[in-house]
A and B are shown apart, each in its own frame.
Chain A
Amino acid sequence: MDNNNVVSAPQLADVAKYYDIWRKSHTGSLRTFIDFMVTPSPERDNFVNSLGPETSFNGSVAVVTLHL
């Protein structure tokens, strides 16, 4: 059954560039940053929203991506 209300987990088109941005306000390795990005939290939402994510539609899925 297709769903019309699925929002994808946030995507990063360039992990290294966003890691550099994240490191300005956080401490941790690249692996810590990936853990941060794949775990739902208010901090992650703030980080993603502050960088102006692009939302595109892939079928019925709203895909949220950070492009630099």
Chain B
Amino acid sequence: MNVQGIKSGYAFSRNPIILRESFPIDNPNKIPDGRCEIIYAGTTIYEGRFSPPLSMNVAEIADAFVTFFNEPPEGNISPIWQIEDTGDMCDRELSCLFEFDGYEAEYNCIVIPGGISRQNFKRLLQLNKDIFQERFFNPKGNFFLTTRTASWRIVMKETELYPLYFFPRRTGDLIRIVERTNGSIYENDSFDEGVAVLDVAALRRYFAEQEQVLSSVFDVYYNSNFSCRIVVERCDPTRERYRLKFRNSLGVFEIIELTGELSITPEYTDADESQFKRYDTRTTEFFTDRERVERKQSISVETGVKRPDEIRFLMDMLGSEEVYLLDLTPLPIKVIPSVEELTYRPRPESPQKFTVKLEISSSEENIMQDIIDGSENRKPRIFSKQFSKQFN
């Protein structure tokens, strides 16, 4: 079976998975229908018919069923954390079975949620290369699932640290991380083939606590191959700092910070429609009454100064299907981001910043103080979260 551009057995659900096969036709006067069955995670998700020659894009069918990777647990202290092992990855297997006039064809691959840009997809097809082999399975380059950069040097602001996802290839592979301050080494070979994360914040803490060095520059080696360098960038102290956690194009979460002023605009757009007339039997007249009005909220926040590479990262966030605003309230708020004007210069001569509008995805009728852990109405005690240095 001819498969367009997939050589590694892995495919993204948002990029075409085009299967082609020219079944032999024994009797041209009577061409029967072919049958196809698509199975994902052991369950038949699609059955249909086709006429040869077969040319079918199964990506959209798979995309409807594929699930995103889990996140590492909150408060994780392990620099490397396994998200999915070999067994979990088997549940991501897509099997396509085709049968035509006694002839059978089959194709299997692992489907990963997300995708690369169309431009990159076309370019890789021209070069006859596979994105997984070239990047995500390549130990001699930046193999992390990040849209922050495609370079060998990953620069992350210290407030934007979030675990970097990657695909360990074989059980027993060795990751060695060398911090560049004193040359201390962290090694880990206790992960399986599947999906894992490198938690840079946990890695910094590991070196600080175990090796007595707080480092911001790390070299990553995979099976003795130099892969990439991770640089933790300093952030200026600011009065207002908000972070957006978003699902990037490659299907995993990343964080981008916004350091400008934030303002919230409550909108009671249905206020007029909720009014109605009620009849008063005592005075025999109609008076105006109203139901509770739904409140929508939108947030306007400035991005702070962004470099051209950060603007591309910002654009990935603006197109994301899942974005959460952190740091405004103790719990993340799901928002839908947009921007009224995003005109930028790739080679700027002056600092560039923009205003992002965030629409809170759920509206409210009943307005009250937030419940975080259910203990807000109690007097804080010495071990409670609300305890401060002042005696209480």
Contacts and interface: CB of A to CB of B under 8 A. Distances in A.
Interface of A: 1-3, 5-16, 30-31, 34, 37-42, 44-45, 58-59, 61, 63-65
> Interface on chain A toward B: helix, strand, loop, or mixed SS?
mixed
A42 B54 CA distance: 65
Contact of A10 (B182, B212, B234): B234
Interface residues of B, number: 31
B158 interface: yes
Interface string B206-221: 0011001111110000
A42 to B, nearest CB: 5
A41 to B, nearest CB: 5
Contacts of A5: 307
A47 to B, nearest CB: 12
A40 B205 contact: no
B180 interface: yes
A9 B214 CA distance: 10
> Interface on chain B toward A: helix, strand, loop, or mixed SS?
loop
Contact of B233 (A8, A12, A34, A65): A8
A8 B231 contact: yes
A8 B237 contact: no
Interface string B227-240: 00001111111100
A40 to B, nearest CB: 4
Contact of B214 (A1, A3, A38, A40): A38
B159 A40 contact: yes
B72 interface: no
A11 B235 CA distance: 13
B212 A1 contact: no
Contact of B208 (A1, A15, A61): A15
Contacts of A40: 158-159, 234-238
A1 B148 CA distance: 11
Nearest to B158: A9
B231 A61 contact: yes
B148 to A, nearest CB: 11
A3 B309 contact: yes
A16 B208 CA distance: 9
Nearest to B157: A9
B155 A12 contact: no
Contacts of A14: 212-213
